Amino acid sequence: MATLSFKEVKKTYPGGVAVIHGLDAEVSDGEFIVIVGPSGCGKSTLMRMVAGLETVTEGGILIDGKMVNHLEPAERDIAMVFQNYALYPHMSVYENMAYGLKIRGLSKDDIRDRVSVAADILELSHLLDRRPRQLSGGQRQRVAMGRAIVREPKVFLFDEPLSNLDAKLRVQMRLEIQKLHRRLRTTSLYVTHDQVEAMTLAQRMIVMNAGVAEQIGTPAEVFEKPASTFVAAFIGSPPMNLIPVRVDTLGRVRDEKGVGLNVPGRLVPNHMQDKECILGIRPEHMRLHTTGIPMEIEMVEILGSEQLVHGRHGETSIVVRCPVNETAKNPLQIGETIEVGDDGIHPLHWFDRATGKRIED
């Protein structure tokens, strides 16, 4: 196992296209870190730089305190699990898992022992004689993980390994990866665009946006105190409601047209007076038919025991997540206007309108 450090890491492609803008982060020995963000944010580029598949333009990447910028991939003591499995179709499961060890010159006995241990961990022992085409998607991904495990690397790199699997299998494989990490305790870096994967797998997460780490923290920290409107809108399903407002000199909250909103004064920090900002409220922290914000209902989604009530206040979209039975006696009508507000339990979120950054309470 090992530590992994990013020291002001930058990546610029020929032509001056900058994709990573100075990342600083520390990954502890045995920690499972998830890099999450939308397509094009730089997360896979960052992963490839750790693997040695991309060069570092500026800054440094250290594994166990050793700078690896100029080391070849084979010299970095890392193992990577790809999105597309990358198995050799003409080889058996055993041969796929053993191939890297054979290239490194390990003895047949050592190879057999390592493959046997990894196969037991991943429940692949009964499949060692099969070819990849005879396996399901989940089994192929387990073989790819087994090939990484037998290497006994200092760092595991996972590059969107579940994106090719169906929804049910992704849930199962997330559990397998969690169990695997608890057993091996190997330092791991996991890239995904799926916030559910990030929230369920990460011990800490790095939320990327256009080559910048918007926030680094535990899933709970990122969800409960998003550092910016980007994080607030990206993490959470559905995402946080973000409403442009102005707080006057008396602490009263008004929308962009100057209409007063019934936001309790106790929820408005004193230093917010006379500021233009963005008010954030999680959909699950809102209630229907309570003083707060007028909302015209546009659609109602039934999700089993819960429902998502979609509406609009002026130009701003609002979503309220609540139990289905809350409106059983008085069903909501499309086009009607009701008032919605906070639940009085959870704190509100405030962001600077110019920068999008969180305004601390």
Q: What is the CATH number of domain 238-352?
A: 2.40.50.140
| CA separation for the pair 183, 344 (Å, rounded) | 42
Q: Do domains 4-229 and 238-352 have the same CATH topology?
A: no
For the chain, give the percent of residues with pLDDT over 70: 99
Domain map of the chain by residue range? 4-229, 238-352
pLDDT tens figures, 256-277: 888 788 887 777 777 777 789 9
C-beta separation of 203 from 216 below 8 A: no
Whose structure tokens read 């490839």?
48
The residue among 55, 121, 135 whose CA lies nearest residue 88 is: 135
Q: Tens of pLDDT along 8-51?
A: 999 999 988 999 999 999 999 999 999 999 988 999 999 999 99
**Residue 1: predicted pLDDT:** 67
Distance CA 291, CA 138 (A): 49
Is the pLDDT at 290 greater than 70, yes or no? Answer: yes
Q: Judge whether residue 295 has pLDDT over 80.
A: yes
Spatial contact of 42 and 211, defined as CB atoms under 8 Å apart: yes
Read off the pLDDT of residues 121-138 as tens digits, 9 standing for 90 and up.
888 999 999 999 999 888
Mean of pLDDT values over 74-85: 87
Q: Is 66 exposed, middle or buried (0-12, 13-18, 19+ CB in 10 A)?
A: middle
Highest mean pLDDT among 72-86, 190-204, 271-285: 190-204
| pLDDT of res. 224 | 94
Looking at residue 333, what DSSP letter applies? Answer: -
What is this structure's pTM? 0.89
φ, ψ for residue 126, nearest 5 deg: -85, 0
First to last CA, the chain: 39
Most confident of 73-87, 92-106, 265-279: 92-106
- Average pLDDT on 311-338 reads 92
Quote the CA–CA distance of 87 and 82 in Å, as a whole number: 10
For the domain spanning 4-229, the CATH number is: 3.40.50.300
Q: What's the whole-number mean pLDDT along residues 298-308?
A: 94
Alpha-carbon distance of 91 to 267, in angstroms, equals 63
| Total number of residues shown for the chain | 361
pLDDT the model gives residue 352? 92
For the stretch 198-222, pLDDT in tens is 999 999 999 999 999 999 999 999 9
The pLDDT confidence band at residue 306, using thresholds 50, 70 and 90, is: very high
Mean pLDDT of the chain: 91
The span from the CA of 292 to the CA of 341, in Å, is: 4
- Show contacts of 12-18: CB within 8 Å, 24+ apart: 12/57, 12/58, 18/211
Among 55-59, 85-89, 240-244, 260-264, the least confident range: 260-264
Q: Where are the beta strands (DSSP E) in the chain?
A: 4-13, 17-27, 32-36, 58-63, 66-67, 78-81, 155-159, 187-192, 204-209, 212-217, 241-247, 253-255, 260-261, 275-281, 286-303, 306-313, 316-323, 337-342, 349-352
Total Cβ atoms within 10 A of residue 323: 10
